[in-house]
Copies of this chain bind each other. A is one copy, B any other.
Amino acid sequence: MYIDKKEIEQLEQHYRRAFINSLAGFRQVVLVGTKSADGITNLAIFNSLIHLGANPALFGLMSRPDTVQRDTLQNILDTKEYTLNYIQAAQYKKAHQTSARYGKGISEFDKVGFIPLYHSGCYAPFVEEAVVKIAMRFEDSIPISLNGTVLIVGSIMQVDINDGMVGGDGFVNLSASEVLISQGLDAYFVSKEVGRLPYAKP
């Protein structure tokens, strides 16, 4: 199949959305936990986590202004704190369900059935069921003027990982815990190891 820019623009809208989204490949599923300034918790599924640097430890998240993720962005801008939570494949239906458009003042924790968990020093709730829990502090929001999306940049404040997931070299073994991966808008996967390789030299 061969398709060019003009033909992509002429695709039916839902087909194009599924095609371009899934074409971008596999990504980490992240449940982003926040709490509004007036105390309403929020949980939203993201698939746009980006590693920006290890020192300082910075992760990015893309936020689109036209989705339910907008509540998450507002809470992050208001409170400067959010959590990143990785869950196991067994919970994929609940994770997907956080993308439903619940009304104002309603928490996805209650509706979907994840348990909020609090650590000292973080205003935002974690997901108790998550095997990886990361507390983030908002650092910067960078507008992508071409299409009105925003890159949220945050620094890692705390990491809480199930025992035994971190190897002697620092590598975090997510595969053994069947951590959930996604592709496109609605497809979920786990990983199967191919191999690890030494640092490449010419």
A residues at B contact (CB < 8 Å):
1-5, 8-9, 11, 13-28, 30, 47-60, 62, 64, 86, 89, 92-93, 96-103, 111, 121, 132, 134, 139-140, 142, 144-147, 149, 151, 153, 155-163, 165-166, 169-172, 174-175, 179-181, 183-202
Q: Which residue of B14, B53, B151 is within 8 Å of A170 (Cβ)?
A: B14
Contacts of A102 in B (CB 8 A): 202
Q: Which residue of B98, B170, B194 is within 8 Å of A22 (Cβ)?
A: B170
- 29 A-B pairs with C-beta separation under 8 A: A1-B166, A4-B159, A11-B170, A15-B169, A16-B55, A17-B170, A18-B170, A20-B55, A20-B57, A24-B51, A25-B49, A25-B181, A26-B27, A26-B179, A51-B62, A52-B144, A52-B146, A53-B146, A53-B147, A92-B194, A100-B201, A151-B151, A171-B187, A172-B183, A186-B199, A187-B193, A188-B193, A188-B195, A189-B194
- Copies of this protein in the assembly total 2
**B134 touching A1 by the CB < 8 A rule?**
no
